[in-house]
Structure 1
Amino acid sequence: MNGAHALIRSLVTSGVDVCFANPGTSEMHFVAALDGVPEMRAVLVLFEGVATGAADGYARMAERPAATLLHLGPGLGNGVANLHNARRAGSPVVNVIGDHATYHAKYDAPLQSDIGAIAGAVSGWVRHSALTSEVGADAAAAVAAAREGQVATLVLPADVSWEPDGGVVADPVPAAPRAAADPDAVGAAAAALRSGEPCILLVGGDATSADGLAAADRIAAATGATVLAETFPTRLERGAGVAPVERVAYQVDIAVRQLAGAQHVVLVGARSPVGFFAYPGKPSDLVPPGAHVHTVAAREGAAAALDELADLVAPGTTARVAALARPELPTGALTVASAAAVVGALLPEGAIVVDEAVTSGFGLPGDTAGAPRHDWLTLTGGAIGWGLPAATGAAVACPDRPVWALQADGSAMYTISALWTHAREGLDVTTVLYNNNAYAILRGELQQVGAAGFVQHDGKRAKALLDLGGPDLDFVSIARGMGVPGVRVTTAEEMADALRRASAEPGPHLVEVMVPPLVA
């Protein structure tokens, strides 16, 4: 048994049976070994950023790791943006990175690079396999490390992979016990919540599950605390039958108003709130001045900590849940608001929503709050080009559930080749492509950072960097060219008809939704 075969067999033994791959020469023995391990599903993608984003989406929904197979340092580099998002999400991902043969490295061949340094920027665990006999154990260790909620990267030199003898399949490494919440931290938070002083309960991690939100709502009902979720939760369960929660706004001014007046901020699975960027004259730390911050639990185990906290401060209290309530279908020319209402009116039960709608998504949270129960995945790390890949992984993880990718036009172009994988794998992904012909969010940021006042003359050169015209993008043609049926819609009626058809037909679809930009 060679090293590659031992590696794949060890991954499968440890529970990793999906690999999103974009291989090259150094990974050919891994590719060849796949036929000997039929339990491993290998999914070809056309760009490494699709592989890493798909592994993130898969992990969020399957609640276990997927693997990626990437080619040397440049291949890993192409995937770093979505590994950054996975790291911020706490997603378990196992990267297998092929490397030059150990004896070849000294020649500084054109693709030679410091893979460990690249991996270190986004990985919590990095190992370089040195011996064929150790590859299986290294794979099992990588899976165990990933299961702790991090990216684990295993570098596999070509000769270690191809050595014909010495590969050993390793048993799974037992999972590390999950740390319980510190009783002193729980007690301090309970005292703050009982104090009668204004409190914010900020939840994240697995506390945005239905169970976690129920516990948070019990606490709010009993104490008067305000419950907020972090701006971009990893996976938010929501809709009818689930306790509703408002998210901390991306815009600093709105977030400051949401948090204003709090004397205590209780963090359960969430990081302390900060601005995404520095803005002149606006705070970076969004905790109100003088407020006390109480950290109760990390991302994993946050829901359990909330249950414990609720039993202390809200015994016998019942959570309030959202009722089934959909907006009426609008009519007429599409706007950002009417497009959101169409989604809210038609979102299927059990849907997985992958949200990278950016400014075109304004209105979606409110219009889908009473839709049938669903999951909502968000852009945790802010690195765009995540949505279509994450939808790929979510669809592979949950083939019995519809996936709706709510996708902005500019960020779609980063990883548009994911559509080809949707078609090749026959994935049930409906891409709602908001085409406003602009980087509208950057138009807003130009104002927010005060740079608009420095634009000189007629501003044409600055404006040219923030629009997507000349030539206009035709997403229907792009989708059809990659095997995905597509249709362009300009009215609410057309959008509703297109989404109904997509829901009724198996396989992927793209609906190009023509909307005016929210920021002119």
Structure 2
Amino acid sequence: MNGAQALLRTLVGAGVDVCFANPGTSEMHFVAALDDVPEMRAVLTLFEGVATGAADGYARMAGRPAASLLHLGPGMGNGLANLHNARRGRTPLVNVVGDHARSHKRLDAPLESDIDAVAGTFSTWVRRSLRPADVGADAADAVAAAGAGGIATLILPADVSWSDGAEPADPVPGRPAPRPGPEAVEAAATALSSGEPSVLFLGGDAVREAGQLLAARITAATGARLLCETFPARLPRGAGLPDLPKLPYPPEMAIAALAGTKHLVVAGTTAPVHFFGYPGVPGTPVPDDCTVHVLAAPGEDGVAALEALADRVADGAEPQLLEASRPELPTGALTPRTLSAVVGALLPEDAIVVDEALTSGVGLAELTSGAPRHDWLSLTGGAIGDGLPMAAGAAIACPGRKVLGLQADGSAMYTISALWTHAREQLDVTTVVCNNGSYAILEHELARVGATGNGKRAGQLLDLGGPDLDFVALAGGMGVPATRAETAEQLADQLRRALAEPGPHLIDAVLDR
């Protein structure tokens, strides 16, 4: 058995049976070995950033790692933005990167690069298989490392892949997440019961359904406010769950949301900071006189921590839960607000929403809060271009569920080739492109950072016109049926029809400008 065959056998044996791939010459023996391991589903993507983003979406919904297969250092570099997002979301992911044969590396071939060094910037675990006999054990260790919540990068030289002498390895048992100590629970209980303004701030595994219900009991008993991180990796939402507001993204709004807070208790995440530094603005929205209490750090068992805290302070307390509600279908101009209302009115039960609407998402949280239960996937690391790939991965992980992608127009172009994968795999993904013809988020940032000028040349770098992007033509060229909506009524009609039919669809929602 060669190294590639042993790798695939080990991955499948450990439960990693989907691989999102953009292979090259160094990975051809991996490709050939797929015929020997039919249990591995290989999904071709046309760009490495689609492969890594899809692996991210798959793992978020499946709760176990997918694999990505990338070609040498440049291929890994093309996938790095969405590996960054996966790292920030603590997504379990096995990242297999092919490399030159060992005898060829010393020749400094044109595609030679320091894969190990770059992989270390986003991986929690990096290893290079040096012999065919090592591959099975290395792959088993990679799956175990990824399962702990992070990216495990396994570098596979081409000759190690093609050489015989390899054998698959048994899975490595995973370790449960550590539980917080009693002192952390006691400090949080004291803070929340102090009578001073307090916030219970959730993220990571603490925003799972069980964590939300426990947190709502705690806040009902103590009077603390409940918030979650701005971009949670996976957030269950809808009727029957607590109202869990997200900390706003704009720094002025985040500062206002935490103003006056004396105690911030964090579970499953860290204390928030702004995405960027701004002139005259502190780097964090947490007030200077606020004490941060870590109930459960990322990687610890946040749900167990909330359960212990609820036992301490919320005996008999009942959580306040959202009633089922939907907005009325709007009419007239298509704006971010009316787009959000259409989504809230028509969102199917058990849907998966992949949110990269960015500035066009104003109103989405409010107008979908009482919708039927659904999962919400966010752009965890801020590197745009995750939406279309993440929707592909989520659809493969959950083939019985509708996936709705809410996609900004500018960031859609980063990974637009994901639509080809939607069509090839016949994924049940409906994409709504929020087409405002600009990098609107950067228009806000231009003012926020205090940059000044006459605006004409700067505006050209933020405007997506001249020529306008034709998403109907782009989608059709990659096999995805597409329509264009210019009013709220048209969007509602097209979205209703798209959600009623299996397979991929795209709606170019042209927002009022």
Deviation at 1:511, TM superposition (A): 0.6
- The offset of 1:299, in angstroms, is 3.0
Cα deviation 1:82-139 (Å, max 9, x = unaligned): 0000000000000110000000001100000000111111111000000001101100
User: Which amino acid in 2 is paired with 1:478?
Assistant: L
Where does 1:469-484 land on structure 2 (aligned, <5 Å)? Answer: 469-484=465-480
Of the structure 1 ranges 434-443 and 280-289, higher mean CA displacement relative to structure 2 is found in 280-289
Matches within 5 A, 1:390-469: 390-451=390-451, 454-456=452-454, 459-469=455-465
Amino acid of the residue matched to residue 72 of structure 2?
L
Partners of 1:440 and 1:274 in 2: how far apart?
22
Contact kept in structure 2, 1:132 and 1:160, CA below 8 Å: yes
Partner of 2:386: 386
Residue of structure 2 equivalent to 1:160: 160
Amino acid at match of 2:71: H
The one-character-per-residue Cα deviations of 1:162-207 (angstroms, maximum 9, x if unpaired) are: 00x2111100001023201111111110111111111111000011
Contact 1:385 1:411 in 2 (8 A): yes
TM-score for both structures, normalised by structure 1: 0.98
Q: What SS is found at the alignment partner of 2:221?
A: helix
AA matched with 2:462: L
2:512 to 494, 507, 516: 516
Q: How does 1:272-351 map to 2 (within 5 A)?
A: 272-300=271-299, 301-351=301-351
Query: Aligned partners of 1:514 and 1:473: how far apart in 2?
Result: 11
1:506 is the counterpart of 2:502: yes
Q: Output aligned runs, 1:84-123, within 5 Å.
A: 84-123=84-123
Q: Does structure 1 conserve the Cα–Cα contact (< 8 Å) formed by 2:427 and 2:504?
A: yes
Q: 2: distance between equivalents of 1:53 and 1:88?
A: 13
Counterpart in 2 of 1:216? Answer: 215
| TM-aligned CA deviation for residue 310 of structure 1 | 1.0
5+ residue gaps, structure 1, are none
Q: Which residue of 1 aligns with 2:359?
A: 359
Q: CA deviation at 1:311?
A: 1.3
Residues 136-176 of structure 1: CA deviation (Å, up to 9, x unaligned):
1100000000001000000000000000x211110000102
Task: State the alpha-carbon separation in 1 of the partners of residues 229 and 217 from structure 2.
Answer: 19
Q: Is the 8 A contact 1:20 1:42 kept in 2?
A: yes
* Letter of the structure 2 residue corresponding to residue 336 of structure 1: P
State how far apart, in whole Å, the 2-side matches of 1:172 and 1:403 are. Answer: 32
**Alignment map for 1:155-304 (pairs within 5 Å):** 155-163=155-163, 165-300=164-299, 301-304=301-304
Q: Which amino acid aligns with 1:376?
A: W
Amino acid in structure 2 at the alignment position of 1:166: G
- Aligned amino acid, residue 357 of structure 1: A
Q: Is the 8 A contact 2:124 2:152 kept in 1?
A: yes
- CA shift for structure 1 position 289: 1.3
- 1: CA distance, partners of 2:176 / 2:276: 36
SS in structure 2 opposite 1:20?
strand
| 1:222 partner letter | A
* AA of the residue aligned to 2:58: Y
Are residues 1:55 and 2:55 paired? yes
- CA–CA distance in structure 1, aligned partners of residues 226 and 158 of structure 2: 51
Residue number in structure 1 paired with 2:488: 492
Provide the rounded CA distance (Å) in 2 between the counterparts of 1:417 and 1:223.
Answer: 49
The answer as to whether partners of 1:3 and 1:166 remain within 8 angstroms in 2 is yes
Judge conservation of contact 1:65–1:146 (CA < 8 Å) in 2: yes
**2-side partners of 1:189 and 1:143: how far apart?**
34
Q: What is the TM-score when the length of structure 2 is the normalising length?
A: 0.99
Query: Cα offset for 1:270?
Result: 1.6
Give yes or no for contact 2:50–2:389 (8 Å, CA) kept in 1: yes
CA distance in 2, matches of 1:179, 1:279: 37
Structure 2 counterpart of 1:168, which letter? Answer: E
1:43 corresponds in structure 2 to 43
Q: Does the 8 A contact of 1:210 with 1:243 survive in 2?
A: no
- In 2, Cα distance between equivalents of 1:299 and 1:516: 41
- In 2: Cα distance, 1:134 partner to 1:39 partner: 22
Superposed CA offset, 1:312-347 (max 9, x none): 100111111111100000011211111110000000
Worse-matched range after superposition: 289-298 or 49-58: 289-298
Distance in 2, Cα, partners of 1:249 & 1:92: 27
Mapped partners of 2:468, 2:253: distance in 1: 33
Which amino acid in 1 is paired with 2:453? V
Shift of 1:476: 0.5
- The residue number in structure 2 matching 1:31 is 31
Q: CA RMSD in A?
A: 0.8
Q: Answer whether contact 1:430 1:509 (CA < 8 A) is retained.
A: yes
The aligned amino acid for 1:266 is: V
Matched to 1:216, the amino acid is A
Structure 2 CA distance, aligned partners of 1:48 and 1:208?
30
Distance 1:20 1:298 in 2: 30
* C-alpha displacement of 1:235: 0.6
CA deviations 1:454-511 (Å, max 9, x no partner) are: 214xx22110000100100000000000000000001111111111111111100001
* 3-state secondary structure, aligned to 2:34: helix
Residue aligned with 1:501, SS: helix
* Partner AA of 1:350 in structure 2: D
1:23 alignment partner, SS class: coil
What secondary structure is seen at the aligned counterpart in 1 of 2:354? strand
Q: Is the 8 A contact 2:240 2:322 kept in 1?
A: yes
Paired amino acid for 2:476 = R
SS in 1 for 2:407: strand
> Could you list the runs of 5+ residues in structure 2 that have no partner in the other structure?
none
Match of residue 138 from structure 1: 138
- Give, in whole Å, the separation in 2 of the partners of 1:491 and 1:516: 9
Q: Distance in 1 between matches of 2:90 and 2:297?
A: 10
2:333, 2:512 within 8 Å by CA — same for their partners in 1? no
CA distance in 1, matches of 2:54, 2:80: 13
